[in-house]
Structure 1
Amino acid sequence: MSQQQIFPWGDSRRFNSYSRYFKNLFGERVQKLTIDAGFTCPNRDGKVARGGCTFCLNDAFNPSYCSPEKSIRQQLEEGIEFHVKRYQKASRYLAYFQAYSNTYAPLERLKEIYSQALDLPEVVGIVVGTRPDCVDEEKLDFFAELSEKKYVTIEYGIESCYNDTLERVNRGHTYEQAVWAIEQTAKRHIKVGAHMMFGFPGETRARMLAQSEILSKLPLNTIKFHQLQIFKGTHMAKEYEQNPKQFRFFGLQEYIDFFVEFLEHLNPSFVVERFAGEVPPRYQAGPGWGLVRNEQLVSMLDKRLAELDTWQGRLFGASER
């Protein structure tokens, strides 16, 4: 197939990329600004469990300007200044509420927090990271109203489609709860995102790959993936130290090849925000890939897709034919 083949998402890139999606939507680059609004999580405060997910360490992903001690406006203004110096490309921004569960508060508190973010003229929308057990119909109705005026995505941490895995990592919710939350969000015409992780103990390659077809049936707009990384100070780090044979980590090229195969079966309408994670080595308690940046990973994926002359969704629905 020619490199200039136009794929279902409207360009010649071999997967439905997040950067193209926003350029088409807004006509220019849009940068996400991570915000820590001081939320907690029902998996930490005792409502569901204590201790959180065994793999969780939010500090590994929060940028330096991001702190709940600062106001929403201050974090946004510092984030804009940071990105102007670093990229000098974006003039419009999405406020990304990432840390913990950003719908885990009374509705009035949510209204206050999200109105602060949307008060800045440079902010064209919000991305709200949360758990599927932290939304209800009243909260979703509120986000539906916001989405009529601004860009809104609710991003749910699914992590795995298998309940035995979710229980093993102390996730505190089921896959069925994730399906309910996603369907209720999409029903209100709010954009829906999802987050998945590959490499949990006990999940074979075949089992991980099978999730591509499971997820493809959901009404998702965006999706992102991370390979399992073990962070210092987490419960999983203790498990790894005590029994390292339970864990099997992807090598870099192995992961690229795995993800290509996963991508071939993935719904081509899903916008792939990212397919791997990077964190500073100082946080890692297990083997990593060194100082490989996200831009390099994307370049490797593009190259491998071209070498194999394949693309996202090439085998989508093949098992049903």
Structure 2
Amino acid sequence: MQNGTYSWGHDRRYNDFPTYFRALFSERVQKVSIDAGFTCPNRDGTKGTGGCAYCNNKTFKPTYCNLENSVTSQVEKGIAFFARKYKSMRFLAYFQAYTNTYAPIEDLKRLYEEALEHPKVVGLVISTRPDCIYPELLDYLAELSKKVYVMVELGVESHLDRTLDSINRGHSFAEAAWAIEETAKRGINNCAHMILGLPGETREELLDQAKTISKLPVKNLKLHQLQIHKNTLLEKQFQQHPENFDLYTADEYIDLVIDYLELLNPEIIVERFISQAPPEMLIAPKWGLKNFEFVAKVEKRLKERDTWQGKRFI
């Protein structure tokens, strides 16, 4: 830190995504979610059935995202929703539901490029699994990245293979590391998505995760607390054996996040700390905090502890 400014170029105590994004684009940019009808290899039987133990896609899918609406229609409806609040805005088409690279390359090109046809769409965010990334797709996205913003969001979730097995994830951490390295190598923006508090993981292992992630060419990072959602395998496991779950209070999780940030590579842009499920779908933990409220608490605690992202990074 020099003259009140950290290595990422401003005085916030972590390398935050909103500040980075405002510098990247000259105007406000908002994600518009799209459900393009994908499934997952651990739902259709290729690698397993039932999906990940924690997954209920209804917890984050807007009402306009449904298969009765085409990609074009979903983009238009999403843009119309946000246009009520802001007149001048551009958008990223966010292919969010399930695994959005799990289809033949020609189908993917058609869907992605349909979204990009809207004049206010300036890029894509593509949520997927590390084991559904392959060279032909990477080459295409690398070319596309030369024209528009492209972010590949990878569900890594844990750095421990035993955890990935226990939540029916269907891929290894080595596959996630490969996907992160290959996207970075081709100049494609990537984002690693991690869940803190999965059953069986200790605090020490979670802090080791920060060190492990810091060794990889991760551009953006999304963290969120473990949540138990209705109609998931995790809900059944929680009901049967609640003693196997260590669900953090908000204060406990804030301290964990700050310890994690201290060990994190300062070059990694932190996109979020928590996830918010609709109250009617959430079993636990129920903090009653919105994202901006949680961020304010993290920033207050960082100041109280006089610490910052990367303070203990080696």
TM-score band (shorter)?
over 0.9
Cα distance in structure 2, aligned partners of 1:135 and 1:21: 26
Cα distance in structure 1, aligned partners of 2:20 and 2:28: 10
Residue type of the alignment partner of 1:313: G
The answer to whether the 8 A contact 1:29-1:89 is kept is no
TM score, norm. by length of structure 2: 0.97
Q: 1:168 aligns with which of 161, 166, 188?
A: 166
The answer to whether the 8 A contact 1:31-1:90 is kept is no
The answer to whether the 8 A contact 1:22-1:28 is kept is no
Residue type of the alignment partner of 1:56: C
Residue type of the alignment partner of 1:289: W
After superposition, what is the alpha-carbon deviation per residue over 1:75-125, rounded to whole angstroms, capped at 9, x for unaligned? 11111121222x427511111111110000000000000001111111111
Cα distance in structure 2, aligned partners of 1:266 and 1:304: 17
Consecutive unaligned residues of structure 1, counting only runs of 5 or more, are none
Question: What's 2:75 paired with?
Answer: 76
The answer to whether the 8 A contact 2:219-2:268 is kept is yes
Q: CA RMSD in A?
A: 1.3
Shift of the alpha carbon at 1:183? 0.9
State yes or no: 1:134 paired with 2:126: no
Question: What's 2:28 paired with?
Answer: 29
Cα distance in structure 1, aligned partners of 2:291 and 2:285: 17
Consecutive unaligned residues of structure 2, counting only runs of 5 or more, are none
After superposition, what is the alpha-carbon deviation per residue over 1:231-286, rounded to whole angstroms, capped at 9, x for unaligned? 11101100111111111101001111110110011111111110111111110123
State yes or no: 1:59 paired with 2:58: yes
Question: What's 1:295 paired with?
Answer: 292
State yes or no: 1:315 paired with 2:312: yes
Answer with 168-177 or 68-77: which moved more: 68-77
Cα distance in structure 2, aligned partners of 1:21 and 1:89: 22
The answer to whether the 8 A contact 1:29-1:92 is kept is yes
Residue type of the alignment partner of 1:296: E
Number of residue equivalences: 314
The answer to whether the 8 A contact 1:66-1:75 is kept is yes
* Distance of aligned partners of 1:197 and 1:89 in 2 relative to their CA distance in 1, 3 Å threshold: farther
Alignment of 1:1-321 (within 5 A): 5-85=4-84, 87-88=85-86, 91-290=89-288, 292-317=289-314
The answer to whether the 8 A contact 1:53-1:171 is kept is yes
Residue type of the alignment partner of 2:172: T
Residue type of the alignment partner of 2:121: V
Q: What's the secondary structure of 2:13's corresponding residue?
A: coil
Cα distance in structure 1, aligned partners of 2:67 and 2:49: 21
Cα distance in structure 2, aligned partners of 1:176 and 1:111: 27
The answer to whether the 8 A contact 2:93-2:123 is kept is yes
The answer to whether the 8 A contact 1:55-1:236 is kept is yes
Q: What's the secondary structure of 2:271's corresponding residue?
A: strand
After superposition, what is the alpha-carbon deviation per residue over 1:45-75, rounded to whole angstroms, capped at 9, x for unaligned? 0000000000001100111222222111111
The answer to whether the 8 A contact 2:152-2:189 is kept is yes
Cα distance in structure 1, aligned partners of 2:256 and 2:249: 10
After superposition, what is the alpha-carbon deviation per residue over 1:14-37, rounded to whole angstroms, capped at 9, x for unaligned? 111111111111123211111111
Answer with 25-34 or 251-260: which moved more: 25-34
Residue type of the alignment partner of 1:314: K
Q: What's the secondary structure of 1:285's corresponding residue?
A: strand
Cα distance in structure 1, aligned partners of 2:14 and 2:28: 18
TM score, norm. by length of structure 1: 0.95
Shift of the alpha carbon at 1:8? 1.1
The answer to whether the 8 A contact 2:191-2:220 is kept is yes
The answer to whether the 8 A contact 1:266-1:316 is kept is yes
Cα distance in structure 2, aligned partners of 1:209 and 1:184: 25
